[in-house]
Structure 1
Amino acid sequence: MGAKGDGSRDRRHVSAATRAAVVEKVKALEAKRDAGMVGTAGKAMLVEDWLDYWAENIASVRVRARTLATYRTMIRLHLNPYIGKRRLDQLQSEHLEQTYKQLLDKGLSPASVLRVHRMLHRALKIAMQRDRVARNVATLVEPPRQERPKTPEPLDVEECKRVLAAAEGLRNSARWTVALALGLRQSEALALQWKDVDFDRGTLSVRRGLHRVPGEGLVFTEPKTHRSRRTIAVPVPLIEALRKQRVAQNEERLVVGTEWYDWDLVFAQPNGRPLDKHSDYEAWIRLLNRAKVRHIRLHDGRHTAATLLLTAGVHPRVVMELLGHSQMRTTPDIYSHVMPALAQEAADRMAKTLWT
């Protein structure tokens, strides 16, 4: 069949009940050899062996570090314990269905199981292309139906004003103005650097995210999508708030002296180090308590910014660009709760235009 990795001859053996059957198997092997589709000789590969190889050698050069860390976790916790010891070429669709059922019974959400399925589908697709398996059995499986996302719970205008008023005088107070006025993702806000803020033009550029990657700590990563890289016009009051933020941070820097870590971050710890997502979320909850408004997710601050823009009459396309959505349909899909009111406003404007 050619040569092995060490240069020695690769010999294959087949057996069958009749000579004719053996000849057919030999012809099949020869066809694979001639087509350059010879698999590795020796012990049959297990599912866990292939998934580990795929993650470390194929996925690792295509996805971000945080995504790769998620893949490794899903393989270790959700796949290897159930199908890892099965032979890759003998994996059946029923094995996947049983695994998904066990994951759901264990308490994993349908959305999480769906992510596991999609990752496994990619890995098996490559295995099929390389003739490791005859077919991708993940294509034969119906994954759990994903639950419809919860309707965002944005703050209204009065609640926003109360939150911003409560943030006055707090350290990193502009962090919350950025959340509610610009709708940045948490990772984007925590990765903002002063070089991203143009005070003269009144703009702010989103160029990176800040994420915790196992084994590496907090690292800067590429934005979620290519549209996430964007430059936003900043309201004048927020520009002034950022100026105050910079003055306050410079004062902290003088106090700390040589112990300051210069990450150039807009929002940082008192020593210049990055803020952790968990501590940032805890600060958000304390702020909501201080403002005496209902608790919402920090990500709903992003939904708040979008809802305020849409209800103010800003075109959904513009909102899409400001938020960094990758597709136009994403904006109206997520904010369908405000679209009827906008449609009614459009009808009223048309009535005024044509009949008044």
Structure 2
Amino acid sequence: MRAAKGEGSMSKTDKGWRGYVTVNGKRKYTRYHKTKALCAQEKRELLNRRDDGRLVAGKVPTVAQWMNHWSENVTKARPTTAALNAWVITNKIIPELGSIKLSALTAERLEQWVVDLNVKPASQRRYLAPLKTALNVAAQRGHIPFNPALRVELEPQGKPNTSAFSREDRDAILAAAVGRNRARWHLSVRLGLRPAEALGLTWPDFDAKTGVLTIRHQLLRATGQGLYLQDAAKTAAGEREITLPKSLAALLVEHRREQMRLMAQVGDEWVGWSYQGQPVALMFPQSNGKPVDAKMDTKLWHALLASAGLEDARRYKSRHTAATHLISDSNGDVAVTAKILGHADASFTYRTYVHPLAEREQALMDAMDLPAAPYVAPYDAEPSRVRQNAEPSDR
């Protein structure tokens, strides 16, 4: 019995059963199958995808062909993400997976690739990320029926080993913060600005009259592009206004005066920085006006901890410290803390950035040892007398 027009066809060959459907005048073939039933099943899947507009005629691209097309013509990632994606595609994906056709790429093959990378769980996710996004587009356009990267089982990532400085250690850091970066360290340790946000601050971002600081940029570096200003953070909540405490606003005002005096002293040695053809009045540049990049910022942070007599710690611990103490000082107001930190989700703030402090835990334990107040019975010791003397309206 012949198949209905437009339903495609199947036939038996030396390699097994194979079928096809017609898409825009071109044939799209199934794989070879041992049985007619299995072949019919795949042909039906092709027909469904064709009718839904998810089946593309012509040859299926290889992983290398598709990843190159996606990175050059489809993705709109920010410069830092685009540069990292390009490195992963060139050095990790194409060498191992590039020759495989998209239709032959399986979750099991991707899982083996991830294992062969021999990297930590966080890096596994970072290397798989461009594949996930690119294969999503491939599935939407009909090159593959589904995205195999979404079915990959990865090692548990676990909770990052992060903590916060105690109040005593935090105050030691602030006491050790002197010189041109003093105000920047206060913004980092007290308000939790991201390092790139603090480095990207410009003087138009600060209103000395109102004490309002607007966070609208991050100073980042991308391969092949150098330093650049990226608008806000990843979410809309990243661009925000913070009304500074008077002490911190005064620090910025004094920092501005010191910067003006420095510019007058160094004269022509102040080269400044221009971005996209426009001069940028950075709030916390180097002594010659050039930007402070992430590497230099990290070195300065380590030097600050050493001068405070503290052990070394990762740069982002300043942000965790600020979040923890903001929550504590605001009597647990997570929403306000999230707003200051630039988070859209307050629960994320609490889960990720708030850490138990040893001194507060000890205070709670000490409170449990305090003697209890004497108990006062709410009623007379003789309940019957209470009932007898009760007013009629109480009954």
User: Normalising by the residue count of structure 1, what TM-score does the alignment of the two structures yield?
Assistant: 0.82
The answer to whether the 8 A contact 1:260-1:272 is kept is yes
Distance 1:91 1:113, change over 3 A: same
Map of 2:61 onto structure 1: 45
Aligned-partner Cα distance in 2 for 1:293–1:302 = 17
Shift in Å at residue 51 of structure 1? 0.8
Q: Which residue among 275, 284, 293 is the counterpart of 2:301?
A: 284
Whole-angstrom distance in 1 between the partners of 2:188 and 2:23? 62
Q: 1:38: how far off?
A: 6.4
**Unmatched segments (≥5 aa) in structure 2:** 1-8, 26-46, 273-278, 377-395
Corresponding residue to 1:126 among 115, 119, 137: 137
Q: What is the aligned partner in structure 1 of residue 43 from structure 2? A: none
Say whether residues 1:272 and 2:299 are aligned partners: no
2:325 aligned to 305, 308, 318, which one?
Answer: 308
Q: Which has the higher helix share?
A: 1
Pick one of 248, 258, 269 that aligns with 1:248. 258
Larger mean CA deviation between 137-146 and 203-212 belongs to 137-146
- Counterpart of 2:271? 260
Alpha-carbon distance in structure 2 between the residues aligned to 1:45 and 1:23: 21
Distance in 1 (alpha carbons) for counterparts of 2:292 and 2:251: 19
2:210 to 159, 176, 201: 201
Q: 2:348 aligns with which of 330, 334, 338?
A: 330
Distance 1:38 1:203 in 2: 54
Contact 1:196 1:205 in 2 (8 A): yes
1:57 aligns with 2:67: no
Q: Work out which of the residue numbers 69, 93, 100 in structure 1 matches 2:114.
A: 100
Q: Give the drift of 1:116.
A: 2.5
Higher mean displacement: 241-250 or 157-166: 157-166
- Whose strand proportion is higher, 1 or 2? 2
Larger mean Cα displacement after TM superposition, 328-337 or 223-232: 328-337
Q: CA deviation at 1:100?
A: 0.6
CA, structure 1 residues 317+78, in 2 after alignment: closer, same or farther (shift >3 Å)?
same
| Alpha-carbon shift at residue 26 of structure 1 (Å) | 4.8
Asked if structure 1 preserves the Cα contact closer than 8 Å seen for 2:11 and 2:18, the reply is no
Residue type of the alignment partner of 2:311: R
Determine if contact 2:324/2:354 at 8 Å carries over to the other structure: no
SS for the counterpart of 2:180 is: coil
Aligned equivalent of 2:198: 189
Q: Answer with 1 or 2: which has the greater Rg.
A: 2
The superposition leaves residues 226-265 of structure 1 with CA deviations (integer Å, 9 ceiling, x where unpaired) of: 1111111112111121112111211222234345324211
Q: Residue in 1 aligned with 2:389?
A: none
Does the 8 A contact of 1:332 with 1:339 survive in 2?
no
Is residue 157 of structure 1 aligned with residue 136 of structure 2?
Answer: no
Cα distance in structure 1, aligned partners of 2:174 and 2:17: 79
The unaligned stretches of length 5 or more in structure 1 are 1-13
- Identify which of 90, 112, 117 aligns with 2:128: 117
Match of 2:188 among 179, 183, 200: 179
Percent identity, aligned pairs only, is: 33
What value does the CA root-mean-square deviation take over the aligned residues? 3.1
Q: How far is the alpha carbon of 1:77 from its aligned partner? A: 2.2
Q: Tell me how far 1:225 sits from its aligned partner.
A: 1.3
Q: How many residues align?
A: 327
Contact 1:269–1:275 at 8 Å: present in 2 too?
A: yes
Q: What is the CA–CA distance in structure 2 between the aligned matches of 1:287 and 1:129, rounded to whole Å?
A: 51
1:289 aligned partner, one-letter code: A
Residue pair 1:111, 1:147 contacting (<8 A) in 2 also: no
Instruction: Tell me which amino acid in the other structure corresponds to 1:162.
Output: A
Q: Structure 1 residue 161: deviation in Å?
A: 2.1
Alignment of structure 1 residues 212-223 onto 2, 5 Å: 212-222=221-231, 223=233
**1-structure distance, mates of 2:116, 2:346:** 37
Amino acid across the alignment from 1:141: V
Q: What amino acid sits opposite 1:52 in the alignment?
A: N
Question: 1 or 2 for the larger relative contact order (CA 8 Å, sep ≥6)?
Answer: 1
1:10 aligns with none
Distance of 2:186 and 2:169 partners within structure 1: 13
